Amino acid sequence: MKILVSGSLAYDRIMDFPGYFKDHILPEKVHLLNVSFEIGVLKENFGGTAGNIAYNLKLLKEDPTIIGSAGKDFNHYRGWLKENGISQKGISITNDELTACAYVITDRANNQITAFHKGAMALESSINFGEYKNLNPRNSLAVIAPGNKFEMVDLGRLYKNKGIPYIFDPGQQIPVLTNRDLRFLLKGAKVFVVNDYEFSLISKRLSLPLTDIKRLAEIVIVTKGEKGAQVATSEDSFAVKAVKPRKIVDPTGAGDAFRAGLIKGLANGYPLKKTVQLATLVATYPIEHYGTQEHSFSLPEIKSRFLKIFDSKLN
């Protein structure tokens, strides 16, 4: 199975705030907001939606190809990808900008404040889309994760024209995608996956309730953190409980790990419920570490834990 993972490549600077944001923000004064948080932990890690998803897929013994842009400071990240055997063939490098960088602060309640510098991701892409025109739709699967908004739309158009099934994950790019872009990428998606806040935002912007969104995308998955995920298709709807992490360190990267689990299940033809259960299990691993690519696991370990938790075998 040819797996294409488009999205961002970024350095993550993850910060741990030992208090609660709510204790430092006065609701009646948000129009004059001026706050400062003393950080207990600061770490720089490899991240970005495409990098995170691809890393987890590699741990799941898949062979993803990253499609994305990086900057002149990418050598350190490049070495990490090479060390982990992740293809860099689809990565476009520019010497005019730095690689994208995310600054994430998490409080004790796992609330997050994120600042994101797009860097190279904001530039016009030099990706050669022609390289992907000969893909076999019966043996290909793509994910359109948050990245350059023009690439997201262009790749959506390519996948539609080629009949390649794709997962649409707009995430952090919802504010910059137009309503027309959102509708275009939603329509015909194999899977539309967002968290509950993002779903409400898109539903309100497009004036589309779940019943209408189900007519556009084949599968709709709304993640709800520790409450699990809600799955809906034109024929069925069900909930999947979250897997409890063995410890909670930082939630950053859980969503991307969830996407990797989805891709693994879809690529291997698992039933939908089992696919989402696998995704919830994979999502626990980055939560147990600082950094979105600091965890590790083996496929036998995943299969063993899956059997224990869900009383069902993974092939």
Question: Which residues are within 8 A (CB) of 45 and not within 5 positions of it... i.e. 6 or more apart?
Answer: 11, 12, 14, 290, 291, 292, 293, 294
Residue 50: pLDDT band (50, 70, 90) is very high
β-strand partners of 232: 220, 237
Average pLDDT of span 287-313: 95
144 near 169, Cβ under 8 Å? yes
Taking the C-alpha atoms of residue 226 and residue 243, their distance in angstroms, rounded to an integer, is 8
The DSSP output letter for 312 is -
Give tens-digit pLDDT for 150-173. Answer: 999 999 999 999 999 999 999 999
SS3 state of residue 98:
coil
Q: In what order do the strands lie in the sheet with 87-93?
A: 87-93, 64-70, 2-6, 140-144, 166-168, 191-195, 219-223, 229-233, 237-240
Model pLDDT, residue 277: 98
Of 131 and 172, more confident: 172
Whether the predicted model's global pTM rises above the 0.85 cut: yes
**Token reading at 139:** 């043996």
**Token reading at 34:** 């001026």
67 near 4, Cβ under 8 Å? yes
Taking the C-alpha atoms of residue 170 and residue 185, their distance in angstroms, rounded to an integer, is 9
Q: What are phi and psi of 93, to 5 degrees?
A: -110, 135
198 near 219, Cβ under 8 Å? no
145 near 169, Cβ under 8 Å? yes
Considering Cα of 291, then 260, then 264, then 271, what sign does the dihedral take?
A: positive
Closest by CA position to 273, among listed 222, 237, 305: 237
How remote is the C-alpha of 16 from its chain's centroid? 21
- Go through the domains of the chain in sequence order and give each one's CATH number: 2-27+34-310 (3.40.1190.20)
Give tens-digit pLDDT for 213-245. Answer: 999 999 999 999 999 999 999 999 999 999 999
